[in-house]
Amino acid sequence: MRIRKLSTAAASVAVVALLATACSGGGNGSDDPTSGQTQATSDERSDKVLTVGMPNGEASGNQNPIAPGSGSTSFGYAYAIYESLMQVNDVKPTDPPMPWLAEKVEWNDTYTEAVITPRAGVTWSDGEPFTADDIAYSLQIRKDNPELNVDFPEQYGEITTDGTTVTVGFTTGQYVNAAKLYRLLIVPKHIWENEDPVTYTADTMIGTGPFTLKSFTPQAVTLVPNDTYWGDAPLVGELRYDAFKDNAGLTTALTSGEAQWGWTFIPDFENTFIAQDPEHFHQVAGGGFGVDVLYLNTQKKPFDDVAFRKALNMVVDRADISATAGYGVWPQITSVTGLPQPSGDAFISDEFAGQELEVDVDGAKQVLTDAGYTWDGDALVDPDGEKVSFALTNPQGWTDYLDALGIIAEGAKELGAEATVEPVVADTWFNQVINLGDFQASLHWTDGGSTPWNLYSNIMDGASYVELGQPANWNFGRYQNDEATAALAEFKSATTDADRMAALQVVQKRFVEDVPGLVIWSRPAVAQYSTANYTGFPTDEDPYANPQPTGPQAALILTKLKPTA
């Protein structure tokens, strides 16, 4: 999907419209979510199983839906059991959000306070009523426990309720983060208040969502419909989440029909996947501001030296990565600002307009020479007299990432640096490597959002900085620059377009000159599914939601699926 280019003013108006219309409700995303599909559908619940597959290996036993890295969120089944305040369409980020557990969210002019009105008539799956207290509690435990506060670290102010609404304050303006509030999963106070929310594994999984937990093993999780669900009754008779060890395993399962919904990278997907059953097999992708970044650990050699970071950036062949490792599914990034285009065109500062990333080995070697590097034969030697080497680390089986790392290693070799690709177990990567800074370079995605703020903040915001060995929510490379941090805060709290663009210009200058990370390609939301048993998934013609099963949008999609007659 391509997003129409907006002028700076138009883009800002669209964002304001997104945030303002959260107060007024918005539509249901689509009058006909099955548009573009030809199968007849039934309004009767089917007894057929819908199997969701993920290539992350076995699930951990932690069912806690708000704990980073938990099995229930990694697999995705948390999002069929627990629900968010609003539905946000990541594919069309400037669309107004849809009321969900909240009937409306009203912000003050500075986006430092939001008043949340809960939906009436909702019950938890154990029969207890859902109330404003549940929302307030779900926010408070995030405020009180930094381990759970991924989205608003040290930014919550006072959280109060008058019984019918919840008021949440923030220490800084949240203009760019409104969608993060909408996407927060809500948990039941009457159960959680008797537990430690950080260590609680939530094995009973009492939620408000369209499904409830039937059984769990690390290899397979089974859910059944929640017959007391407040929304449209789910027509999927049974929902199963299966573990696959890698992309290839899930691709085989999708191609054989063993799994009917998932998201993985499939090389040559037209021939490998869709051609096996053109009537029923589909792959859909959407746009936005999300990208994949090679995070560079700026606290460790060789990436503690900006000269080497610049040089590596100049030899990475992004066109080859997109075509070879990404098979054209992940579009190439060409702007030196790292912004995906055309989504980011309106936000590129004048200083960098038209400047594109190009492979320049000679130029890169000159940067290194000027910084005191030398060569021992073909081997690059740093100013300390040490030969330059580093490891590129990502989960085993993530073939697109690993192939991309291989091409990055080839670029490093052109400089005389020895780079090795070192796959690790996905669980280790999630819970040790990337968040604790136990790496030199590693690919990871960024959030999307309705502006480029998330992209840059996730890479280089000092507000997310923690020391090596401490769990980081973002800024995995531990980049620190006071000017960049201040500019990101200014963009976030500014009240005029001019002030936002002035702040963004500073951020982009620091990004280009300091190279805190290497944006490799844009990351549209991609999913595969089969309509042999159920139809109603998002399509290219009707992208009413992010098509992936691992996000709050899963509750929306599952209520739109109908059995194929």
Of 6 and 474, the one with more pLDDT: 474
For strands 49-54 and 261-262, give the pairing: parallel
Is 220 or 35 the better-scoring residue by pLDDT?
A: 220
One domain for residues 439 and 545? no
* Tens of pLDDT, residues 504-562: 999 999 999 999 999 999 988 899 999 999 999 999 899 999 999 999 999 999 999 99
- Rounded CA separation 72/223 (Å): 12
pLDDT at residue 31, rounded to an integer = 36
Q: Do 198 and 76 share a domain, yes or no?
A: yes
Percent of the chain scored above 90 by pLDDT? 76
pLDDT tens per residue across span 333-356: 999 999 988 778 889 999 999 999
In terms of domains, do 167 and 314 share one? no
Q: Is residue 34 part of a domain?
A: no
| CATH code at position 120 | 3.40.190.10
Return the CATH number at 307. Answer: 3.10.105.10
pLDDT of residue 327: 86
- Per-residue model confidence as pLDDT tens digits over 442-467: 999 998 877 899 999 999 999 999 99
Residue 17 pLDDT greater than 70, yes or no: no
Q: What's at 182, amino acid-wise?
A: Y
Domain membership of residue 334 (yes or no) is yes
CA–CA dist 333, 565 (Å, integer): 43
37 has a pLDDT exceeding 50? no
User: Looking at 369-435, which runs of residues are DSSP E strands?
Assistant: 374-376, 379-381, 389-395, 418-424
Q: Which residues contact 329 (CB under 8 A, 6 or more apart)?
A: 265, 269, 285, 400, 526
- Same domain? 333 vs 426: yes
Is 24 domain-assigned? no
Q: Domain count of the chain?
A: 2
Q: How far apart are the first and last CA of the chain?
A: 29
Domain housing 254: 49-264+525-563
Both 468 and 364 in a single domain?
Answer: yes
pLDDT at residue 45, rounded to an integer: 95
Cα–Cα distance between 422 and 437 in angstroms, integer?
15
Mean pLDDT of 421-449: 94
| pLDDT over 90 (residue 20) | no
pLDDT exceeds cutoff 60 at 23: no
Rounded average pLDDT over 245-255: 92
User: Are 245 and 55 spatial neighbours (Cβ–Cβ below 8 Å)?
Assistant: yes
Residue range 29-46: average pLDDT?
A: 55
Same domain flag for 66 and 163: yes
pLDDT > 50? residue 389: yes
Q: How many CA atoms lie within 13 A of 239 on its CB side?
A: 30
H/E stretch holding 136 reads helix 132-144
Residues 215, 108 share a domain: yes
Same domain as 529, residue 498: no
In a domain, 65, yes or no: yes
In a domain, residue 276? The reply is no
Is residue 71 within 8 A of residue 62, CB to CB? The reply is: yes
User: In this structure, are 449 and 531 located in the same domain?
Assistant: no
Closest to 292 in 3D by CA, of 320, 324, 341, 333:
333
Residue 38 has pLDDT above 70, yes or no: no
Asked if 472 and 484 sit in the same domain, the reply is yes
Residue 565 CB: number of other CB atoms within 10 A?
10
| Average pLDDT of the segment spanning 428-436 | 94
Residues 343, 303 share a domain: yes
Residue 343 included in any domain? yes
Residue 23: inside a domain, yes or no? Answer: no
407 within some domain = yes
Whether residues 518 and 546 share a domain: the answer is no
CA distance 215 to 199: 21
